[in-house]
Amino acid sequence: MDRNQRAFYNVFTDLQCFILANMQKGDINGVTATHYNIIEYVYRHDKCTGKQAAKAFSISPPAISRQLKFLVGNGFIEQEQSQEDRRIFYLRVTSKGRFIVDNSENFRETVAQKVSKTLTKAELKTLTLLLAKVMHNIDDTASEK
């Protein structure tokens, strides 16, 4: 690792630690990024079904079922049976699930404001473009596995 890579690694490690320290508030042990994405989807699409969530994330019904089993079992999401069609179960985020989404959004907003105040407009634009490039590459790498 050259000097620039080492400097990036150290700063990125500090950022990662800062994010994790701020995101581990409340009882959220075991919640993965996939879990968070499902909680946030249900939060934004009140009374959606597991089938709708599976379609939104392009994952199989058995895969979403495993994720939902964890989320329901740990009190992040609850299921409500439809009165019209007893085969359908609607998903709703609990107060525990709302805490995770709200905490995450508040944290993102706080960090975004601090970054915006720290950088010039040109630096912010450059950082945004660079992070988008990195995320695009990470997404491509993840989808190849």
Spell out the domains of the chain, with CATH numbers in brackets.
Answer: 3-144 (1.10.10.10)
Q: What percent of the chain is predicted at pLDDT more than 70?
A: 86
Among 15, 31, 13, 43, which Cα is nearest to 107's? Answer: 15
Task: Give φ, ψ of 24 to 5 degrees.
Answer: -90, 35
H-assigned helices in 24-144: 33-44, 50-57, 61-73, 95-118, 121-144
Whether residue 77 contacts residue 42, with contact meaning beta carbons closer than 8 Å, is answered with: yes
68-82: pLDDT as tens digits = 999 999 999 999 999
126-143: pLDDT as tens digits = 988 998 888 788 766 655
Whether residue 90 contacts residue 80, with contact meaning beta carbons closer than 8 Å, is answered with: yes
pTM of the predicted model over 0.95: no
CA 56 to CA 144: how far, in whole Å?
20
CA 45 to CA 42: how far, in whole Å?
5
What's the distance, CA 96 to chain centroid? 15
